[in-house]
Structure 1
Amino acid sequence: MTLAQAQKHSSSAETPGGLRRDVGLLGLLFTGVGSIIGSGWLFGALSTSRQAGPAAIVSWILGGFMIMLIGLAYAELGAMLPMSGGAVRFPHLAFGSFASFTTGWINWLAAASVAPIEVEGALQYATYYVPWLTRSDGGVPVLTGGGLAVAVGFLALFSVINVVGVKLFEKANTVLVWWKLIIILVVVVALLGTAFHPANFHSHGFATNGMSGIVTSIATAGVVFSYFGFRQGVDLAGESKNPRRNVPIAVIGSIVITMVIYVALQIAFIGALPENLLTHGWSSLDFPNAFGPLAALSTLLGLPWLATLLYTDAVISPADTGLIYTTVTSRLSYAMAKNGNAPKSLATLSPRGVPWVSIILTFVTGLIFFMPFPGWQKMVGFITSATVLSFGSGPLVVAALRRRVPRQARPFKLPLGDVIPFLAFYSSNLIVFWTGWETDRKLFIAILLGLVLFAVQSLRGRGPRGGRPALDLRAGLWVGPWLAGLAVLSALGPFGGGSATLGFTWAFPVLGVFSLAIYCLAVRFCLPAETVERSLAEVMAGEGFEEG
């Protein structure tokens, strides 16, 4: 089958022997919105205000713009190649086995830890009603033995819903996302309608910590964390009814919708704050003895009904995001198995067309994450660093495939040549840098562990009867310099325990030159055109892109 033939049909209700295509436009869009609106928005308005002051509004807009650049790159890929686990499989097509395993491992680590942290966030807020769910460990809430048992039950429920089928997942998620959107809109309207103090936006200064406070809050105060999830429309593209239309709308639409919501919420939060809370400045803003800042503010404003709604939503919103990430994580391990970088059993489908072995692995891995990270605050830094690093490969794949398969049909193609893909790659590197060395070093250690596992697995699969694909080390030549360079720059930077040898201002051009060098290296050494053509035809045929 030629590549052109393989492109013709992508909207069949079910791929023969493959995943079902049951997810419609609204379901795909709401998967992205539901993934983005998790536990982050419940903390983000307060933590961003502390670091940036009223300029937190700029943080949400700038952070959303950076995420949009990255999202646009994935929208082009997802519309062109709608396949489940696309974020993992795209690098394999452009750069081969070594690069795809490394980026896939980072993706999978990030995604696998989200369901556990969202369960922890839900149970932390549920402690308002059920005190025995958590306890204090050095001032940080962590799960008790009983809370851990409830958390295991949540993960098991997410897994059961996924095993039953993606259609049930879509229906459950759509209802929960409508709930999330209504609650946030109610909060914004209630805060704006009850109290609004214009002086809060300038009386203590607008950008209280300058540009440094704005960009630091993007990485560490919950801004980027609150935008995570936009790629879910790409990862579930192989189960969408009309992916070439639905994927770009889902990716771009989910970012736009949530950006508008977050900016409105931040404005309402700043305007509603009683003036006495700002006596000691924005960095000292706090709500003592409260489970959540928005609920505490609602109580201060005489809105106990709104506080009750928020405490209820603080259980529902994170639980929905955990459900979504259980789905997405299983599709990533499914995709890695399809790439040949993971055991083939992870690609095994049930009669309902869902990767049930991957779902079981996701459940077990979630249980493991509870051991070193028993509380929300203890896990969030790792997830942030891993996820923003995983964004980087997408723009590079866009650049590589444009050069290797320029005649490939692209239902959604970005304008301006390499400008948007490069800015997207640059943005992802900046966010990793801003996250800080203390967090980044833990991630790089985890990546090294993954590379050791990959080496062991590759050696076991070599030989005349080995079934592993070629390593394609030349095509993945950029991976080592990229990760090592980011680690060094992070260690030299001024954020999160870095040495501050590389100052805040100079970091922008240095990261720019570094990003451009890696971008050019990846484009120069990506797989040959004939290899990419052949792989694309095989993959698309396997996904059901066949002539009717």
Structure 2
Amino acid sequence: MTSLQVEQQDPDAGRPGGAVATEPGEGYHRALGARQIQMIAIGGAIGTGLFLGAGKAISKAGPSLILAYALAGLVIFFIMRALGELLMYRPVSGSFSEYAREFVGPFAGFVTGWTYWLFWVVTGITEVTAAAQYMTYWTGDSFPQWTYALIFTVVLYGANLISVKLFAEMEFWFSMVKVTAIVGMILICAGILTIGFSDAAATASVSNLWSDGGFFPKGLGGTLMTLQIVMFAFLAVELVGVTAGESKDPEKVLPKAINTVPWRIAIFYVGALIMILSVVPWSEFQPGVSPFVAAFEKMGLGIGAAIVNFVVLTAALSSCNSGMYSTGRMLRDLALNRQGPRVFTRLTKNGTPLLGTSFSASLMLVGVWINYVAPGKAFDYVVSFATISGMWAWIMILVSQIRYRARSDRGELPKSPFRAPGAPYSSWFALVFIALVIVLMGVDEDARISLYCAPLWGAALGVSYLVLGRRNAERVASGRR
């Protein structure tokens, strides 16, 4: 059995609002280097939302989807720079949960931490199940689908417990596969447009971006209705903030990683879509079919489907791997601030939160089992909650940064050396944009269910917070920790 260590905290030492003060390292091992942080940041912006979800979005908006990704990418940059300003003020593993606790209030930190934890548990459930489905592409019915889900979950769980460095190495190579696939697609498309090889050469032209019904073939409304799909594709880009407590040199590494957001979005989203939609007219893409697969088929490259299937498999495993990592850290941050079971504060000798990660992984296994026996529609309702819960973290990042900036400008707190450009106006703009996306989710019948789930989750957290507060008060009164 791996021995555990419990970080000692003074339960009476805290900031206003009752949040317990924690050191930036929080007992973690600073084992993440610049190379790994950069790839985690890049990989966080590339997922199944791009490889699969873009097909549905193209059918809804046509070439104007490029504009939707560019606009949403600008908002994501504002969010990440707001997070960067907070990280350089105080780099902690609890990240946006910790900042919400400090600048909005203990309850906001409680809601943010548990909601982000739930986001990754739900995401982990869906991604490991998706990865198992992708495996059947090669093996068919030779093995039951649940065996792949079990194998993937156990392997990723073990990797996260061995060391944070092993997690980072796995994420590095997962991200490398995704990046290589997109860059390769861009280069192939560029070759078709300039040299004219493959079966797609006859119809490939940049004019495909406006010749088939115009740049807005479904009107501005069609473009707006894709924003929720676009924002879902960007979920997890904030994961780099959770690595702050384990980065070797956060003051240098994290700003560099955050500043790469614009070119990441420009290349991997905007650039890839421009190339694909130039080679293949937008009207030939179908919902539920990866635009990358469709483009390879149009080019006459039969191996394309197998390549994309492998890439999407790695994207799913990458997401689940990130979920394993972040859930344990979020539970520990909550526990350190008396907003979760104290047992989750424990670390192994390797600096990993064993019990928090184990608890989350066990729920992911239960979710895989539920997905196996329950009707697909019921499972889809659970999945729909991921978008709204992920955007809650973004909202808290922006609100916390606005309040931090106001206090630092008044001289109440030290100014961050990595200040967000255009703030607080850029942060307010991002908040308004997110509010628009939430309204559009209410209009879309397929996404509306997530808005029904959010109040129920909020009510459950409210009751839990009151019960936890009463228990903490009783412990203080009795002299117990």
Please give the range of the TM-score, normalised by the shorter of the 2 chains: 0.7 to 0.9
CA distance in 2, matches of 1:88, 1:236: 13
Check if 1:71 corresponds to 2:71: no
Output one character per residue of 1:65-85: Cα deviation in whole Å (capped at 9) or x when no partner. 111111111111112111112
> How far does residue 34 in structure 1 lie from its aligned partner after superposition?
1.6
Indicate how the Cα distance of structure 1 residues 292 and 464 shifts in structure 2: closer, same or farther if over 3 A, else same.
closer
CA distance in 1, matches of 2:262, 2:237: 6
> How far does residue 415 in structure 1 lie from its aligned partner after superposition?
3.9
2:151 maps to 153
CA distance in 2, matches of 1:335, 1:394: 16
> How far does residue 424 in structure 1 lie from its aligned partner after superposition?
2.6
CA distance in 1, matches of 2:150, 2:295: 32
CA distance in 2, matches of 1:272, 1:449: 49
For 2:42, the aligned partner's letter is V
Indicate how the Cα distance of structure 1 residues 449 and 367 shifts in structure 2: closer, same or farther if over 3 A, else same.
farther
Check if 1:419 corresponds to 2:425: yes
Check if 1:451 corresponds to 2:451: no
Identity of aligned residues (%): 22
Alignment of 1:170-209 (within 5 A): 170-194=168-192, 195=200, 196-202=204-210, 203-209=212-218
Alignment of 1:45-60 (within 5 A): 45-60=54-69
CA distance in 1, matches of 2:437, 2:289: 28
For 1:435, the aligned partner's letter is M
CA distance in 2, matches of 1:256, 1:362: 33
Q: 1:365 aligns with which of 363, 371, 395?
A: 363
Alignment of 1:85-234 (within 5 A): 85-132=94-141, 146-194=144-192, 195=200, 196-202=204-210, 203-219=212-228, 221=229, 223-234=230-241
CA contact (8 A) 1:39 1:121 kept: no
CA distance in 2, matches of 1:351, 1:59: 46
Displacement over 4 Å in runs of 4+: 371-380, 466-469
For 2:118, the aligned partner's letter is L
> How far does residue 434 in structure 1 lie from its aligned partner after superposition?
2.2
1:433 maps to 439
CA distance in 2, matches of 1:459, 1:47: 48
CA contact (8 A) 1:462 1:468 kept: no
> How far does residue 305 in structure 1 lie from its aligned partner after superposition?
2.5
> How far does residue 409 in structure 1 lie from its aligned partner after superposition?
4.1
CA distance in 1, matches of 2:404, 2:188: 48
For 1:452, the aligned partner's letter is V
CA contact (8 A) 1:112 1:365 kept: yes
> How far does residue 453 in structure 1 lie from its aligned partner after superposition?
2.3
Check if 1:245 corresponds to 2:243: no
**What TM-score do you get using the length of structure 1 for normalisation?**
0.74
Q: 1:257 aligns with which of 257, 264, 270?
A: 264
Alignment of 1:285-304 (within 5 A): 285-286=285-286, 292-304=290-302
Listed as ranges, the gaps of 5+ residues in structure 1 are 4-8, 134-144, 279-284, 470-548
Q: 1:396 aligns with which of 389, 392, 399?
A: 399
For 1:393, the aligned partner's letter is M
Output one character per residue of 1:332-385: Cα deviation in whole Å (capped at 9) or x when no partner. 111111221101111211011111111101102212333555669665422112
> How far does residue 181 in structure 1 lie from its aligned partner after superposition?
0.8
> How far does residue 40 in structure 1 lie from its aligned partner after superposition?
1.4
Q: What is the RMSD of the two structures over their aligned residues, measured on CA atoms?
A: 2.9
> How far does residue 464 in structure 1 lie from its aligned partner after superposition?
6.0
CA distance in 2, matches of 1:215, 1:339: 40
Indicate how the Cα distance of structure 1 residues 421 and 467 shifts in structure 2: closer, same or farther if over 3 A, else same.
farther
Moved more, 64-73 or 396-405: 396-405
Q: 1:461 aligns with which of 444, 447, 472?
A: 472
For 1:27, the aligned partner's letter is Q
Output one character per residue of 1:154-186: Cα deviation in whole Å (capped at 9) or x when no partner. 122111111101111122222222222111111
- Secondary structure of the 2:105 match is helix
CA contact (8 A) 2:128 2:317 kept: yes
Listed as ranges, the gaps of 5+ residues in structure 2 are 1-12, 16-22, 193-199, 443-447
CA contact (8 A) 2:117 2:330 kept: yes
For 1:302, the aligned partner's letter is G
CA distance in 2, matches of 1:36, 1:417: 23
1:271 maps to 278
Indicate how the Cα distance of structure 1 residues 109 and 57 shifts in structure 2: closer, same or farther if over 3 A, else same.
same
Indicate how the Cα distance of structure 1 residues 416 and 38 shifts in structure 2: closer, same or farther if over 3 A, else same.
closer
For 1:272, the aligned partner's letter is V
CA distance in 2, matches of 1:45, 1:151: 25
Q: 2:89 aligns with which of 71, 80, 86?
A: 80
Indicate how the Cα distance of structure 1 residues 208 and 268 shifts in structure 2: closer, same or farther if over 3 A, else same.
same
CA contact (8 A) 2:51 2:290 kept: yes
CA contact (8 A) 2:93 2:242 kept: yes
For 2:214, the aligned partner's letter is G
2:20 maps to none
